[in-house]
Every structure is written in structure tokens, then in C-alpha cells.
Structure 1
Amino acid sequence: MTQRRVIIADDEPLARERLGRMVDELDGYQVVAEAATGMQVLEAVASHAPDILLLDIRMPGGDGLEIAEQLGTQTAPPAIIFCTAYDEYAIRAFDVQAAAYLLKPVRRQALADALRRAERLNRAQLQALRTRQADNPQHLSVTSTRGTELVDMTRVRYCEADQKYVTLHHDKGETLTDLSLKALEQRFPDHLLRIHRNTLVGTRYVQALERQDDGACQLRLSDVPDALPVSRRHVARVRQRLREL
């Protein structure tokens, strides 16, 4: 029988121990890691790629609901079962696609039922994500320290190259990829515009091309506080693209 990989996240050692014993008593599941803080949860998920995450809500270093929302951006997120002493978060929990919401003290049969439900949901999630990525070529699958993320390239403000890596600056923060600027430019020609050998910008966020006193040009983007330099060799192409937009 295939062992489903489980991570237990709770800041109380006794709670983790109790959940671990119950999981061990069930066939088909294996606890591969434990976490006591929000940061540890993200690191454990990135390292162990679990099928299922048993997650507390009130934890130091990261609210469980926020963690679930962040994991939901990945292309292969674990199914999440919330295990908490608080009942007031149930509606929000299902907003982040939780497979189950169990109140402490968690009962063995309730946990067994939730694990089976989570397994079914996780397979459905993966299929839905694969379909979404196939149907939406503006999405880019990126493997990072946080796991595998699905980045919506229409939300990328600009891409900045630094040695071997490129940083994607988007509305949810930053994502690092080992894809080159050239590869991104070729893959997303409708969304990205080259303005410098080290920079691509999201065309929908372009506001203005400005000429400085020394003759150099810079580009203003919405939601980006600082203007970005435009190299001389790309000014004409940028002006042409602005007329087309």
C-alpha cells in the first residue's frame, strides 16, 4: 500500500504527539515531519512534499489560515486538515479549500474520515491545477524554496536578472526562477517587454516613458515606487510598444 505523507503542525508538543500516535495507528499514512511555527511549516512542506498537512490555526510565526492561503498558490499543494481548539475560523478555513476542520481533542475516527476526504480532495486539486495551467498559458510553474508555485504572469510588474537567477516582482511579493529573461520574453511576448538587458516589465503596468536631464530614459510602472532605467538600445522598441498599447 502506498504511504501517504503527513506533516503535523502545532505549537503544542503534546498535541503533535497525540496526532502522531493516531496517524501511526492508521494504515496508509506516515508522519514525515513536524512543525511548531509558521516558518517551520513552510520549510517542512518544501523539504518533504507531503500529501496531507494537519495544521493548527493559532501558531507563532504565522497564522494557519495565511499559511494555507500561501500553500494554495503552489502547483502541488498538500491537502489541509485544520486541527484547532477554536470553532470561529471554520468558514474562513473552507475559503482556503481546507479538506476538513477538526476541533480538539481530535477523535480517532474523525481524523481517519478527514484523512480519507483529504486524499480524495488532493487528487482533485492536482487535476484541477494541471487543467488550469494547460488552459492558461499566462501561468508559469516555478520551483522555489517555498515549493512549487503557479505564478500568474499578468500580475508580474517586472522581471530582474541577477547572475544566474531572475526575480519576478508581482502583487504577492517576489519569486525566484532559474529561467532566463530571454526564455521568459519568448514565452510571454504579450505580457512582457524588454527595457534593459537585465529587465523585463509587465506591459499592463506601464504608465510613462520619461526622459531625464542627461538624456537617459526611465519607465514608470503602476504599483512600483521607483522608475526603472531604459537602455538606449531599447528606447525605440519601448516607444513603439507604448503606441501599440
Structure 2
Amino acid sequence: MTALKVLIADDEPLAADRLVALLDPLENLDIVGIAEDGDQAVALAAEHQPDLVLLDISMPGMDGIEVARHLARAEPRPAVIFVTAYDQFAVAAFEVAAVDYLMKPVDRNRLIAAIERAREALDHREPGEGKAADSLFLTEFWASDMSGLVRIAAADIDRISAERDYMRLHVGDRSWLIHHSMASLEQGLDPAMFVRLHRSAILRRDFIDGFSRNASGRWIAQLGDGSEQPVGRLYAEHVREMTGR
């Protein structure tokens, strides 16, 4: 059996040490690096091309969900197992196709089972499944509601608004919260379909009916549901790009 190259990413040294201690007795595993934050995780992944990443979610700078989105563009794409003290990120982990989601303190048997799942996923990975192409855009989201999980197609989203550490997806008269950053959504969504017009707002282009100016000369987007969205000064150039003015 070929040894799995494993990268650990956790900003808590004790948690990283515990994972190392759990992995050391296991056969056919090679720990190629330990990252202390999200940016370092991306850099080490590019350097070592791990097969498996054990990834914390709550880290300084780039969080684990954003790191997983970067890794999804790698070739070959590594398997990801989230290891976290928080259970509220499970839906976001599902969206980025994580192999498993382990709660701290990590149980040895659960970790072994998760690694076996990762091996199976890697064995069935198709050539070219992961790629670094900029054309790899988000096509769907999974959000929680009263009945469980609901799939939301990106093409159905009218607008996205920021609410602290969460983003609200608006589809008609309904909305759902997901755990993402505005920056990662702006990067991940197809720019031919979506445009960012404010630091806390992304809109589907064909949901915008027009633009007007207020008394101070600021652009205001007129939306398909009759509401309005002020355009941030930093994003006025997007209006000019859309309208040619």
C-alpha cells in the first residue's frame, strides 16, 4: 500500500501534536508538514502536494473552508478531513466535499475510519478531477433549514448579503445563511453571472434592472424585486463596466 502524504493544519500546537501522536503508530502515512495558519497551509500544500490534509477550520487569516476551496483547484486534488472544536461548520464542510468532519478531541478510531474513507476517495479519484483552472466556479451551495439540508443552485441566487461571519443567500422571498467570506464568494462565483457592488453585497447581474444616482451622486442599483442596493465607492467601476459609462 502506498504511503499517504499527510499535511496537518492547525493553529493550536497542542492539537497538532495530538494528531501527530495519533498518526505516528499508523502504517503507510508520511507527515510532510504542519501549518500554523491557512496561508501557510496553502503554501505547504503547493510545495509538498499532500494526498490528505487534516484541516482545522477556525484559524487566523484564511480559515479552513477557504483553504479547502484553494485545495479543490489543485492537481491532483487532496482529500480533506476537517478537525475542529466547532460543529456549526458541518454544512460548509459538506459544500467543499470534505471526506469527514472530526470533532476535537479526536478519537483514534474515528480518525482511522476517516483516513480509510480518504484512501477510498483517493483510489476512486478520476484523473484531472482537481485542477487549478480559474474557470472552476461554484455552482451550488448546501444550507441548513428546519428539515435538514437544502441544495441551492448558484444560478438561482438573486443576491448575497454579509452578516458578520456569515453570508445570506437570497432566492426570491427566501434566504439561507452559509459560512463563507465575501472575498471567497467573489472569487468563487462566475463573474459573468455575478458582480460585487458593495463590500457586503454580491448580485446576480440579470437581477439588476437599472442604476440611478442619489443626491450625492452615488450609484444605486435598482433590483428585480423592487428593492435598491447602494453601490460602494470602491465598486463604482463595476457599474461603468456593466453600462459602458
TM range, smaller chain: 0.5 to 0.7
Match of 2:106 in 1: 106
Q: Which runs of 4+ in 1 moved over 3 A?
A: 125-128, 222-226
Asked if 2 retains the 8 angstrom alpha-carbon contact of 1:75 and 1:126, the reply is no
Match of 1:151 among 134, 159, 166: 134
In 2, the alpha carbon distance for the partners of 1:57 and 1:43 equals: 17
Report SS of the residue matched to 1:125: coil
Answer yes or no: is 1:172 the counterpart of 2:187: yes
Q: CA distance change for structure 1 residues 114 and 104 in 2, over 3 Å: closer, same or farther?
A: same
Provide TM-score, normalisation by structure 2: 0.54
Q: In the alignment, residue 108 of structure 1 is paired with which amino acid?
A: R
Match of 1:63 in 2: 63
In 1, the alpha carbon distance for the partners of 2:118 and 2:136 equals: 30
In 2, the alpha carbon distance for the partners of 1:94 and 1:121 equals: 15
Percent of residue pairs bearing the same amino acid type: 41
Asked if 2 retains the 8 angstrom alpha-carbon contact of 1:4 and 1:51, the reply is yes
Deviation at 1:126, TM superposition (A): 3.7
Report SS of the residue matched to 1:17: helix
In 2, the alpha carbon distance for the partners of 1:124 and 1:66 equals: 24
Deviation at 1:152, TM superposition (A): 2.4
Report SS of the residue matched to 1:31: strand
Asked if 2 retains the 8 angstrom alpha-carbon contact of 1:16 and 1:34, the reply is yes
Q: In the alignment, residue 78 of structure 1 is paired with which amino acid?
A: P
Answer yes or no: is 1:18 the counterpart of 2:18: yes
Match of 2:232 in 1: none
Q: In the alignment, residue 20 of structure 1 is paired with which amino acid?
A: V
Match of 1:93 in 2: 93
Asked if 2 retains the 8 angstrom alpha-carbon contact of 1:8 and 1:55, the reply is yes
Structure 1 or 2, whichever has the larger Rg, is 1
Asked if 2 retains the 8 angstrom alpha-carbon contact of 1:2 and 1:28, the reply is yes
Deviation at 1:127, TM superposition (A): 3.8
Q: In the alignment, residue 44 of structure 1 is paired with which amino acid?
A: L
Asked if 2 retains the 8 angstrom alpha-carbon contact of 1:80 and 1:98, the reply is yes
Match of 2:125 in 1: 125
Q: In the alignment, residue 152 of structure 1 is paired with which amino acid?
A: S
Provide TM-score, normalisation by structure 1: 0.54
Q: CA distance change for structure 1 residues 104 and 152 in 2, over 3 Å: closer, same or farther?
A: same
Report SS of the residue matched to 2:132: strand
Match of 1:38 in 2: 38
Match of 1:49 in 2: 49
Q: Aligned-pair RMSD on alpha carbons?
A: 2.7
Report SS of the residue matched to 1:101: strand
Deviation at 1:225, TM superposition (A): 6.5
Which has a greater percent of helix?
A: 1
In 2, the alpha carbon distance for the partners of 1:153 and 1:113 equals: 30
Match of 1:115 in 2: 115
Equivalent residues, number:
147
In 1, the alpha carbon distance for the partners of 2:91 and 2:136 equals: 30
In 2, the alpha carbon distance for the partners of 1:5 and 1:224 equals: 47
